Structure 1
Amino acid sequence: MHEHQTIPIPPTTNTARKKILVCVTGLSPQIVTETLFALSVAQSPSWIPDEIWLITTQRGADNARLMLLSDEPGWFHRLRQDWGLPPMAFDASRICILQDHAGQPLDDIRDDQDNQRAADGIADLVRRLSEDPDTEIHASIAGGRKTMGFFMGYAMSLWGRPQDRLSHVLVSSPFESRSEFFYPTPTPHIIPARAPGQDPLDASTAKVWLGDIPFVRLRSLLPVSITEQNSGFAQAVAAANQALDQIDLTIDTAQSCVRINHHQIALPPMQIGLLCLLAWRCKHQLPPLPAPSKEGDDPEWKQQARQTLRLAMGDMHIPGSLDARLNDKEPIGNTFSQQLSKMEKTLRNSGALPLSGLIARENIGTRGRQQGYRLKLQAERVRIVQTT
């Protein structure tokens, strides 16, 4: 979860994907056994998890340990025994307890600050579990406060992969309102009436099934700094929103940096110069810039590039490293493509550009050249400035 979260996640060693069930619960741990039954017994083909993770409050964790993992009643163990399910890694070490701003366990979620901590805790667990490509996650939104289910669903949108699923478990009436019900039993099991107006029930007659929930996967839009670090729920949401919003690009030639929306990133002078080539063409809505030759000198391309840089930056501000390459006799094609790729990687890793890329590469077929380069931006959102 945050720095104080010490529960380790063992690496996957099997060749097949490890199946991981993740649940959020409040005071009703039945969500775990009901979901496990629906996945492992009720549906065909079955999906039997290798391990189960539970995220909850302190009171929820206490209830789960007493009701699911104890010797008696031990409903998790009884479910496995009743239905002949194989061993699964689920014990107290896989119950993650939400923590408040001071690192103390949360008894309940009562205010906005508790909500934020719950969001961060749920999102971080999903992020960490999804780091291993050889796993598949089935997450349930059925338990806990309504906000906890929402945060679980949103965390799956942020970090879920193609192999991951999201669901809500459904239980037939009147079993869904009986705290003594944990799963349909293979033989009759009587749940006695505990209150006036209640009838005794037979757990073996209950129906449990899953409602599969489609979700939008945004993981590919997030920068490495978000997907691989403990960034927090709000920061990940902001990065996803930025990826879906319009991008404003400002190139500051004097400071050798770019500003993308509210992010400022320093770049080497040669990369600034090459970006200016593309930015100037974008501002003037010109066709893609043909790629220079990689096989031999390309004096015509170099001359046109130098003319564009004079218009974009002014003759005195053309970076010396780029000016030298434009004036020598060596092929510039490899330098051009390598520097643009390095620049894009720097921008993506900084979190400033959580997109598939800033630069579009297109087949243009001009004078034997097969590739052209352009910025994937609107002309009015590109600026070239010189601040001192």
Structure 2
Amino acid sequence: MKPHPHTLLATTGASPQVITETLYAIHHSNAQWPDALFLITTSFGKRKAVQGLLEEGHLQRLCTQLQRPLPAFDASHILVAPGADGQPVEDARSVADHEALANFIMTVVRDRTQASQGSLHASLAGGRKTMTFYIGYAMSLFGRAQDSLSHVLVSEGYENIPGFWFPTTDAPHRHITSRDTTLDASLAQVTLAPIPFVRHRHDLPQVLLQTGTAVNFAQLVQLINLGENPAALRLEVDLPAACIRLSTVDSDLHLVFAPKLLEMAFFTLMARCTVGGESDLTRPLKGNPEIGLSASLLQELLPLCGLACKDRLSDNLAALEDWNVTQGQLKDSTLEALRNGISDTWFDQRKNQLLTLFLQQLPASLARWVQPATIWDEDGQRLGREAIDKTPKKGGYGLHLEPHQIRIVDMPQR
């Protein structure tokens, strides 16, 4: 994708005039003039845009009148949305076609906002109502601080008139006949209407901010909404498969996370404390490593390595060190931490690694329900869900989900 410093992106339908109207309004409002122009439309809309903007030359005519440079624009900049069958859609009318249209618009906006530089100005003046809704929603999801959204207002009588492209005094485009009435194009008022929007980019799963994958709009909305409805979540800690599975009660969502060995053991310990109502798993104090935490973590780590747990900490450490001689999966610093006690920084590293893993696939509002956190106060009382955004620094650790929402699949007995 060739980057452009400033891009105008618009949805269009049967009236490509919204493009010249928007550009005219941008000029007269002293907004940023685009270096490139891209349209999202249907096959029918593309034919209309090519005919009016390129073949009939209305885009060039506008730029000449305004003494503005012609934005980079040709037929390849007219993006035709696919239908449910993956083929260019002629006119989206089915539910499946509109789902495909939503995914396409979301993906285009995501790709156009990936770079930190440049700006995207999205216009929702044209196309079907669902198209304008989707592009506005996409900007709310992916828009950066420098991006903008607008509509264009055209004075009464001049909207949707085939012969009107923008206010002009030039013949033969000044006087337009419509419905047995002659209109003077120079008298039309065309105004840019900026639309403020809330930006949620910071809350999105990291994988959705990377190009190369299509955005599934319906699933993304479901994930965001689940952040406000955690009761529908089901979490499975599958030790034989060394993975964490997240689903919903109705099973229409199924995500799999594969942590590294240490994080898997750490997360399992958190899940067991939550299910068992054990409120004594706390973060080590600074400068005071905890041997007891090492012992508990080893009880989860050894089975993941295919090793049997023994009663003595020293025996478990010896078995793990012997295993690591051939496997080489653990760093010396990790073995030292397990031998001398878990420190506060080591504890935080495991938490942060898990959070990074979850944020790859989950919105931040949902990831917070499955990331390890303080869920008991210092007196051992379970904190309510309303406290998720203000959990105390001290207290017992676990997961914010309720015990019945968590299932642990243990290793088979040897």
- After TM superposition, the score normalised by the length of structure 1 is 0.78
Are 2:283 and 1:290 equivalent residues in the alignment? yes
- Residue of structure 2 equivalent to 1:230: 214
Going from structure 1 to structure 2, the CA distance change for 1:288 and 1:306 (only over 3 Å counts) comes to: closer
Are 2:97 and 1:114 equivalent residues in the alignment? yes
Q: 3-state DSSP class of the match of 1:192?
A: strand
Kept in 2, the 8 Å contact 1:277–1:309? The answer is no
- Residue of structure 1 equivalent to 2:174: 190
Q: What amino acid does structure 2 have at the position aligned with 1:31?
A: V
Kept in 2, the 8 Å contact 1:82–1:186? The answer is no
Kept in 1, the 8 Å contact 2:269–2:296? The answer is no
Structure 2: how far apart are the matches of 1:179 and 1:336?
Answer: 67
From 60, 73, 84, the counterpart of 1:90: 73
Are 2:194 and 1:204 equivalent residues in the alignment? no
Deviation of 1:325 after TM superposition, in Å, equals 5.5
Going from structure 1 to structure 2, the CA distance change for 1:386 and 1:153 (only over 3 Å counts) comes to: same
Deviation of 1:31 after TM superposition, in Å, equals 0.7
- Residue of structure 1 equivalent to 2:22: 35
Structure 1: how far apart are the matches of 2:358 and 2:78?
Answer: 38
Question: Which ranges in structure 2 are unaligned for 5 or more consecutive residues?
Answer: 248-253, 321-329, 378-391
Q: What amino acid does structure 2 have at the position aligned with 1:272?
A: M
From 192, 200, 204, the counterpart of 1:218: 200
Deviation of 1:95 after TM superposition, in Å, equals 0.7
Structure 1: how far apart are the matches of 2:268 and 2:68?
Answer: 62
Q: What amino acid does structure 1 have at the position aligned with 2:37?
A: I
Question: Which ranges in structure 1 are unaligned for 5 or more consecutive residues?
Answer: 1-8, 13-17, 365-369
Going from structure 1 to structure 2, the CA distance change for 1:66 and 1:307 (only over 3 Å counts) comes to: closer
Are 2:2 and 1:10 equivalent residues in the alignment? yes
Going from structure 1 to structure 2, the CA distance change for 1:231 and 1:54 (only over 3 Å counts) comes to: same
- Residue of structure 2 equivalent to 1:5: none
Deviation of 1:222 after TM superposition, in Å, equals 2.1
Going from structure 1 to structure 2, the CA distance change for 1:376 and 1:217 (only over 3 Å counts) comes to: farther
- Residue of structure 2 equivalent to 1:264: 256
Kept in 1, the 8 Å contact 2:104–2:215? The answer is no
Q: 3-state DSSP class of the match of 1:289?
A: coil
Deviation of 1:279 after TM superposition, in Å, equals 4.4
Structure 2: how far apart are the matches of 1:178 and 1:55?
Answer: 21
Are 2:317 and 1:328 equivalent residues in the alignment? no
**Alignment deviations for residues 33-68 of structure 1 (CA, whole Å, 9 cap, x no partner):** 111111122x1x332111110111112111111111
Q: What amino acid does structure 2 have at the position aligned with 1:32?
A: I
Structure 2: how far apart are the matches of 1:317 and 1:230?
Answer: 48
Deviation of 1:168 after TM superposition, in Å, equals 1.7
Deviation of 1:26 after TM superposition, in Å, equals 0.7
Q: 3-state DSSP class of the match of 2:127?
A: coil
Task: Give the CA RMSD over aligned residues.
Answer: 3.8
Query: How many residue pairs get matched?
Result: 359
Structure 1: how far apart are the matches of 2:139 and 2:186?
Answer: 33
- More displaced stretch, 338-347 vs 284-293: 284-293
Deviation of 1:356 after TM superposition, in Å, equals 6.4
Deviation of 1:79 after TM superposition, in Å, equals 0.7
Structure 2: how far apart are the matches of 1:77 and 1:275?
Answer: 61
Going from structure 1 to structure 2, the CA distance change for 1:87 and 1:308 (only over 3 Å counts) comes to: closer
Structure 1: how far apart are the matches of 2:235 and 2:242?
Answer: 14
**Alignment deviations for residues 14-42 of structure 1 (CA, whole Å, 9 cap, x no partner):** xxxx111111111100010111111122x
Q: What amino acid does structure 2 have at the position aligned with 1:39?
A: I
Q: What amino acid does structure 1 have at the position aligned with 2:283?
A: P
Going from structure 1 to structure 2, the CA distance change for 1:220 and 1:244 (only over 3 Å counts) comes to: farther
- Residue of structure 2 equivalent to 1:303: 292
What is the percentage of aligned positions where both structures have the same residue? 31
Q: 3-state DSSP class of the match of 2:340?
A: coil
From 389, 405, 408, the counterpart of 1:385: 408
Going from structure 1 to structure 2, the CA distance change for 1:263 and 1:360 (only over 3 Å counts) comes to: same
- Residue of structure 1 equivalent to 2:358: 347
Going from structure 1 to structure 2, the CA distance change for 1:383 and 1:113 (only over 3 Å counts) comes to: closer
- After TM superposition, the score normalised by the length of structure 2 is 0.73
Kept in 2, the 8 Å contact 1:35–1:169? The answer is yes
